[in-house]
Amino acid sequence: MNPRITLATAGRILSQLRHDHRTVALMLLVPCVLLGLLAWIFADSPTPVFDSIGASLLGVFPFVIMFIVTSVSTLRERTGGTLERLMTTPLGKGDLMVGYALAFGLVAIVQSIVATAFAIYVCGLDISGPVWILTAIALLDALLGTALGLLASGFARTEFQAVQFMPAFVLPQFLLCGLLVARDQMPSVLSTISDWLPLSYAVDAMKEVTVNASPEVTKDFLVMVAWIIVSLVLGSLTLRRRTA
């Protein structure tokens, strides 16, 4: 790996986004629209439902959106021939992986700040813990989505497959993350599986920030960081300089 090439790659990916205003607008607006819709659904509810699930969803959106964006854009590198071209240059696999993580991590920071601000100031979300921790969780979440997206794209040969990986990788985690049914109330097999999935920890951390003024999220952070690193390493193994 080479810092110059890594940064050049991150810069190139951001330039691509800069030319694509509609994608940037969608990445920033869709989470806000969904949060607004959710707050509205529960507007007349006697119990503060939005306060309990709004924050958790702040952890789900960046994960899902970054997963899709990353898996599609890396697949474009493969099918468009730019990956093969890069493989003939001094660029290392890690440069590409970390370049993507840096670029989309930066986008994720902006996205999570916008979505968090919208949830708090427009939708009236009540958060007991510090907002910066909530933003940090959203960032880790987005990086997780990016890392898993990079990994998933390694197994996709066509755009159709890449899009199908979204429900395949993401929806099971969504069902098991504790948003629909608390994790300790699931059948024991499912609760054990959910103990191994990264999105569970993202949602746990978000819940902790919502209810606790001094939240304890160290373990959740460590699990997410471990998943990010493992996914990036596994993802770089799916990149081959030589292909048949």
Q: Which of 22, 81, 213, 214 binds other proteins (CB under 8 A)?
A: 81
* Count of residues interacting with other proteins (CB under 8 A): 25
Asked if residue 159 binds other proteins (CB under 8 A), the reply is no
Asked if residue 97 binds other proteins (CB under 8 A), the reply is no
Region 5-64 residues binding other proteins, contact defined as CB under 8 A: 5, 8-9, 11-12, 15-16, 19-20
Query: Is residue 109 within 8 Å of residue 74, measured between CB atoms?
Result: no
Q: Which residues of 206-229 are buried (b: 16+ CB within 10 A; e: fewer)?
A: bbbbbeeeebebeebbebbeebbe
Query: Is residue 65 within 8 Å of residue 30, measured between CB atoms?
Result: yes
CA 211 to chain CA mean position, Å: 23
Q: Which of 33, 48, 85, 192 binds other proteins (CB under 8 A)?
A: 85
Asked if residue 89 binds other proteins (CB under 8 A), the reply is yes
Query: Is residue 193 within 8 Å of residue 185, measured between CB atoms?
Result: no
CB of 83 to other proteins, least distance (A): 8
Distance CA 199, CA 202 (A): 5
Choose the binding region for other proteins from 29-37, 57-65, 89-97, 136-144 (rule: CB under 8 A): 89-97
Binding region for other proteins (CB under 8 A): 4-5, 8-9, 11-12, 15-16, 19-20, 80-82, 84-91, 241-244
